[in-house]
Amino acid sequence: MQTFEAFSAFYGKASFLLVLPGIEIGRWKHLCVDYSFTTAHQIVEGGPSRYHSVKNALALIPDKSMVCIHDAVRPLVSKETIANCFRTARIHGNAIPVVPLSESMRQVENGHSHTVDREKFRIVQTPQVFQSQLIKRAYLQTYHEGFADDASVLESDGQAIHIVSGNVENIKITHPGDLAYAEALLPQNQ
């Protein structure tokens, strides 16, 4: 719900598709009632992988539009990150937000490790924004396990990926500690 609000604040006329596993759709509808959540959205049943879930949603996207694919578990995306992505995608066809690494890294191969230059790496976030015709064409490819995210699907179709600055608070809530961190950053009135 917080994620919907972040995008509504950026662009009030946005159309939302929420992709959920079939077994979670009823739960989501109850949560909407419990929290008086009225932001208009359409629910799409997901598939066995992220690739299949996104493909299901893309079937409902009109041509000649901008598509923003965002992890709902990233409710702390900033308006600036969203704007950076849309601005770049309008010009170049796609954009993904990234943030630099702040910790040292080691690469492990065959039981041995060695240091790597962290300046050569970035952490990928969402939203990943695309011109609809490009991402829909990319999703006509056959699925393979190398598709880590939507940008990797587009890249596999021969497109260069354009990166923009993300916001470090735009974490993916995966572990209980992540939720505590996110709650600490959310405005007190929500």
Summarised one tens digit per residue, pLDDT across range 53-98 is: 999 999 999 999 999 999 989 999 999 999 999 999 999 999 999 9
Under 8 Å between Cβ of 81 and 147: no
Segment 26-40 mean pLDDT: 95
pLDDT at position 149 over 90: yes
Nearest to 29 by CA among 176, 109, 37, 93: 37
What value does the mean pLDDT of the chain take? 93
Cα–Cα distance, 78 to 94 (Å, whole number): 18
More confident residue, 183 or 133: 133
pLDDT at position 190 over 50: no
For the chain, the domains span 2-185
- What pLDDT was estimated at residue 45? 97
pTM of the complete model: 0.90
DSSP summary character for residue 38: -
- What pLDDT was estimated at residue 188? 53
pLDDT at position 183 over 90: no
pLDDT at position 189 over 50: no
- What pLDDT was estimated at residue 10? 86
Under 8 Å between Cβ of 43 and 70: no
Q: Which residues contact 176 (CB under 8 A, 6 or more apart)?
A: none
2-185 CATH fold: Spore Coat Polysaccharide Biosynthesis Protein SpsA; Chain A (3.90.550)
Q: Which residue has the tokens 């690739």?
A: 51
Nearest to 124 by CA among 156, 92, 93, 152: 152
pLDDT in tens, 110-133: 999 999 999 999 999 999 999 999
Segment 160-183 mean pLDDT: 92
